[in-house]
Amino acid sequence: MIRARGLGRSFGATRVLRDLDLDVAERDFLLVTGPNGSGKSTLLGLCAGLLAPTAGELEVAVERGRIGYLAHEPLVYLELTALENLDLYGRLYRIPERRERSGMLLERFGLWEARHQRVAAYSRGMTQRLALCRALLHEPDLLLLDEPFAALDEAGAAVLDAELAELAGERTLVLATHEPERVAALATRRLALA
Amino acid sequence: MTYLADVGALARKDLLLELRSRDTLPAMLLFVVSTLVVFNFSLPADASPRAAYGLLWVAIVFTAILGLTRAFAAEREQRVLDGLVLAPCDRSAIWLGKGIAVLAFLALAEVVALPAFALFFQPVTWELVAGVALANVGLAAVGTLLAAMAAASRARELLLPLLFLPLVIPIVVGGVGASIADDPGRYLAFLVLYDVIFAILSWASFEYVVTE
């Protein structure tokens, strides 16, 4: 599903990723680790198609609309409510049963009671939960998760653990984290960036 | 139909965001009225109508810049534009939805600006109203594209006026011409031509602006 050969990415004079070869098959779970600045987020941005490689080749055999992407930022509007944000994305992703799907995800991630609150009033952890709902809304074939456990409390992390366990083996996952032990049992492949 | 539904959802979202945050429109209204008040005191009493119409167009263009600098602020804050770009909708729908919202804010600012202009300077004629309406389309089309380009830059407040002002000179020429010429039809036709050309160019090139 993902194939990279000699993949590299620079920002100006700074080379973040260099000469990376990578193969991720359908339904693989790739765990990406590495210290800060090693290029984990850059790799996910490249796989999402938000960044272009500056060296090498990258093929991602998934349609744009079938990718779920969780970034450092939540990619949601702060002045809209959780429900309004998910409804907007649901429309753009052409999800016919978007209200039911939004409601189900909000309930699962413990945001149902706060669904009519503006995101600006959310805590960092609640915003991260909403970002996860957004990334999962359209049941993507390829899920790219950048530090998904960041800011989550234990209850939120447990929900995410359960969600990942459900998705592992059914979807293709690429997960970058500083807490590899949390998902190590689910991962089928590992990539350690230096 | 799906394309129009996407555009509608995106434009509605922008109007809702403005209704809640009131970041842009009040600033535009205050700016355009203040500018006309300042021009009223700075223009000599025996100044020609041409000068008054010229100042109105200066006020309109700078009010548009003020609105455009905020146009992608909500998308920039949480990198929402990345989320929109990843959606399977046609990316030009993002431009069109945003352009409709910009057009609405400009029109609302002018609903206040034109009576103020009539109060301080010259009567508002149908030629002026037609010129302003046509100019709004061009300002919103070009401005939205350039605002998206500038939003990706750190020097966005500087970059937007530098790119925008040279490109809207024809709008000012057409707008002032339509307001004062004996034959306004030629200038109005010129504005229509500008709108069509720049709307098509902006619509077609937006995808390249929001992707690497």
**pLDDT computed for residue B45 by the predictor:** 81
Q: CA-nearest residue of chain B to A137?
A: B87
Cβ <8 Å between B87 and A65: yes
The answer to whether B42 contacts chain A (CB < 8 Å) is no
Are B9 and B90 a contacting pair, CB within 8 Å? no
B181 contact A CB<8A: no
Say whether A76 and B89 touch across the interface (CB within 8 A).
Answer: no
Q: What is the pLDDT of residues B174-212, one digit of tens each?
A: 999 999 988 999 999 999 999 999 999 999 999 999 887
Distance (Å, rounded) from C-alpha B4 to C-alpha B15?
16
Summarised one tens digit per residue, pLDDT across range A56-100 is 999 999 999 999 999 999 999 999 999 999 999 999 999 999 999
Name B36's Cβ contacts closer than 8 Å, sequence gap at least 6: B55, B56, B59, B113, B116, B117, B120, B121
Say yes or no for a CB contact (<8 Å) between A93 and B13: no
Tell me which chain B residues have a C-beta less than 8 angstroms from the C-beta of A88. Answer: 9-10, 13
What 8-state DSSP symbol labels residue A63?
-
Å between B103 CA and nearest CA of chain A: 21
State residue A148 phi and psi, 5-degree precision: -70, -20
Residues 23-62 (A) with a CB less than 8 A from some CB of B: 48-52
Question: Which pTM was predicted?
Answer: 0.92
Chain A residues inside the 8 Å CB shell of B82:
48, 50, 69, 71, 73, 75
Query: Span B24-42, mean pLDDT?
Result: 95
Dihedral sign for Cα atoms in the order B111, B115, B120, B126: positive
Per-residue pLDDT at B128: 94
Specify the pLDDT at position B81.
94
B79 touches chain A (CB under 8 A): yes
Mutate to test the interface with B, among A50, A70, A95, A116 (most CBs of B within 10 A): A50
Q: Is A96 on the interface with B (CB under 8 A)?
A: no
